[in-house]
Amino acid sequence: MRSMVMAQSIRNASEPWTEDDLAELAELAVGNIPPCVIGLRLGRPEAAVRAKAAEVGITLQPDYRPPYGT
């Protein structure tokens, strides 16, 4: 089962980022969703999420902050 989750989490790893992907990244970041969860939602590795967020100027909250706007 673990390998299935891992495969799903990187389903878009080699695909270009779309405008919809960037909009969802921004929305999830504003909601204080952890980068690892954003990666799962977008089907991209956490490192790719962090890199794209930095590239486009989206601030990701530190890992130690409570998630989901709490």
The number of distinct structural domains making up the chain is 1
Average pLDDT of the chain, as a whole number: 82
Q: Would you say residue 70 lies in a domain?
A: no
Length of the chain: 70
The answer to whether residue 67 sits within a structural domain is no
Name the residue with tokens 């990244």. 25
Expressed as residue numbers, the domain containing 24 is 2-56
Asked if residue 69 is part of any domain, the answer here is no
Residue 7: its pLDDT value, please? Answer: 46
* Domain-located, residue 44: yes
Q: Is residue 46 part of a domain?
A: yes
Whether 48 is covered by a domain: the verdict is: yes
Distance of CA 33 to the CA centre of its chain: 8
CB 24 within 8 Å of CB 42: yes
By percentage, how much of the chain surpasses pLDDT 90? Answer: 59
Query: CB neighbours (10 Å) of residue 38?
Result: 23
Report yes or no on 49 lying in a domain.
yes
